[in-house]
Amino acid sequence: MFAAATTVALAMLALSLALALYRLLIGPATVDRILALDTMSINVLALLVVLSIRWDTAAYLESALVLALLGFVSTVTFAKYLVRGRIID
Amino acid sequence: MTDLASIVASLLLLVGAGFSLVGSIGLVRLPDFYTRMHAPTKATTLGVSSILAAAALTLPGRSLETALAAGVIIAVLFITAPIGAHMLARAARSTGVQPGPATHVDELPATLLERAGEEIAKRPATDDDPSR
C-alpha cells in the first residue's frame, strides 16, 4: 500500500511539474516565468523527497536542502535583476 | 515500520502531492500575476512540508538525524517562500505588470510617487553615477 502511495504521489508531482512548465512556456510576463521556475524547483524538491522515501534511503535529503536554498537564491536573483538591471550593488 | 506509521505516512504523502498539484493548477488557471502568485507560494509550501513529514516518519531507522534534516528543510521553506514572493511582487510592480480587471483597490501608484519624490529630494546634487 505504501509503494502505491509513493507511485500516486510521484504521478501527481510529475503532473504539477508539467503544469508549471506550461506556465513557464506561455509567460506572459517575465515574472510569470520566474514564478513558474520557482514552483518547479520546489516541485523537484518534493519529487526528490518522495523518491528518497520510495527507495528507503536518507541520502536525498541533503540534496533537497541544497535545492531549497538554490531555488530561493535564484528567485531573488532574477527578481533583483529585473528591478535593478544588475544583481550586486 | 509499524503499520500505523505507514498509514499516516501514506496519507501525508497523498495530501502533500495533492497540495502541490493544486498549487500548480492555480498557477495555470488563475487570471493575473498577483493572484497567480498565491497558488505556488502557499499551497506548494504546505505540500512539501507534509511530504517531508512523511519522510521523517518513514526513513530508515526513523533516527533523530533524518527528522532534523526534514525539519531544517521545512524551516528553510517557510522562511524563504514569503521573501521570494515579496521580491517577485516588487519586481512585477516595478516592471509594470498590471493587476487584472477584478482588482478594485490599487493604492500603490500614489505611494510609489511619494517615495520616488522623497528619494529624489534626498539625493545629493552631484550624482555622477553613470548607470542611472
In the block, which residue shows the cell 507534509?
B50
Q: Structural domain of residue A46, as residue ranges?
A: 2-84
What's the mean pLDDT when you consider all of chain B?
80
At A61 the pLDDT is 86
At B25 the pLDDT is 92
Q: Which residues of B touch A52 (CB under 8 A)?
A: 55, 59
Q: Would you call B66 an interface residue with chain A, using a CB distance cutoff of 8 Å?
A: yes
Whether residue A80 lies inside any domain: the answer is yes
User: Which of A24-33, A49-58, B49-58, B105-114 is predicted least confidently?
Assistant: B105-114
Q: Pick from B41, B106, B15: which is nearest to A75 by CA?
A: B41
At B111 the pLDDT is 66
Whether residue B49 lies inside any domain: the answer is yes
Q: Please determine, for residue A36, whether its predicted confidence score (pLDDT) is greater than 80.
A: yes
Q: Coil, helix or strand for B21?
A: helix
At B94 the pLDDT is 80
**Across residues B10-23, what is the average pLDDT?**
92
Whether residue B109 lies inside any domain: the answer is no
Pairwise CB contact (< 8 Å): A76 & B94: no
**Burial per residue of B55-91, b for 16 or more beta-carbon CB atoms within 10 angstroms, e otherwise:** bbbbbeeeeeebbebbebbbebbeebbeebbebbbeb
The total number of structural domains that make up chain B: 1
Cell numbers for A77, please give them: 536573483
At B16 the pLDDT is 92
DSSP state of B31: S
Kindly report, residue by residue over B62-73, the tens digit of the pLDDT: 677 888 888 899
**Across residues B2-12, what is the average pLDDT?**
83
Whether residue B130 lies inside any domain: the answer is no
Whether residue A41 lies inside any domain: the answer is yes
- Rounded to whole angstroms, the Cα distance separating B3 from B37 reads 39
Total-model pTM: 0.82
At B33 the pLDDT is 86
- Rounded to whole angstroms, the Cα distance separating B97 from B91 reads 9
Nearest-by-CA chain A residue for B23: A16
Whether residue A44 lies inside any domain: the answer is yes
CA terminus-to-terminus distance, chain A: 54
Q: Coil, helix or strand for B52?
A: helix
Kindly report, residue by residue over B75-127, the tens digit of the pLDDT: 999 999 899 898 888 888 887 777 777 777 777 666 666 666 666 566 565 55
- Rounded to whole angstroms, the Cα distance separating B47 from B13 reads 9
Whether residue A66 lies inside any domain: the answer is yes
Cβ count near B46 (within 10 Å):
18
Q: Would you call B87 an interface residue with chain A, using a CB distance cutoff of 8 Å?
A: yes
Nearest to A58 among B54, B66, B87 (CB): B66
- Rounded to whole angstroms, the Cα distance separating B21 from B27 reads 10
Cβ distance B21 to A16 under 8 Å? yes
Whether residue A89 lies inside any domain: the answer is no
Higher-pLDDT residue of A27, B37: B37
Q: Structural domain of residue B22, as residue ranges?
A: 3-100
Residue type, B49: S
Whether residue B122 lies inside any domain: the answer is no
What is the signed CA dihedral for B33, B38, B40, B44, rounded to 10 degrees? Answer: 180
Q: Please determine, for residue A15, whether its predicted confidence score (pLDDT) is greater than 90.
A: yes
B17 vs chain A: nearest CA distance in angstroms?
A: 5
- Work out the pLDDT band at A89, boundaries 50, 70, 90: low
Whether residue B20 lies inside any domain: the answer is yes
**ipTM computed for the complex:** 0.86
A 57-86 residues with CB below 8 A of B? 57-58, 61-62, 64-65, 68-69, 72, 75-76, 78-80, 82-83, 85-86
Q: Pick from B95, B97, B81, B79: which is nearest to B35 by CA?
A: B97
The total number of structural domains that make up chain A: 1
A41 vs chain B: nearest CA distance in angstroms?
A: 11
